[in-house]
Amino acid sequence: MAVGSHIPLRTCIACRRKKSKFEMIRFVQKDGNVVLDAEQRYRGRGAYTCADYNCLKLAIQKKAFYRSFKSTVKIDPDQLGQDFDLCLRKK
């Protein structure tokens, strides 16, 4: 294996598929709320979903964010959906 060829893998909290970190959408807990971290720069534990709106919906339905952050968090599905759409347009 060549030096520098490591590709970080992450697991989608909804569908459990493993993909490159750069193909996924990252979410973080900020002040008790789940927020989208489009540039992957916020500190702390992150939760990832595939870049697919169905995975976001499934993660909310399965309460996967609560499990990932190991705490009670507030989720605003409408705001997350809007942020998710903006993030997908930029990719």
**Could you tell me if 18 and 43 are in contact, meaning their C-beta atoms sit under 8 angstroms apart?**
no
Q: What's the predicted TM-score (pTM) here?
A: 0.89
Q: What is the pLDDT of residue 2?
A: 60
The model's pLDDT over 31-55, given as tens digits with 9 standing for 90+, comes to 999 999 998 899 999 999 999 999 9
The model's pLDDT over 7-20, given as tens digits with 9 standing for 90+, comes to 899 999 999 999 99
Between strands 46-50 and 9-11, the pairing is: unpaired
> What is the CATH superfamily name and number for domain 9-90?
YlxR-like (3.30.1230.10)
Residues 6+ apart with CB under 8 A from 39: none
Domain ranges of the chain: 9-90
Q: What is the DSSP letter of 77?
A: H
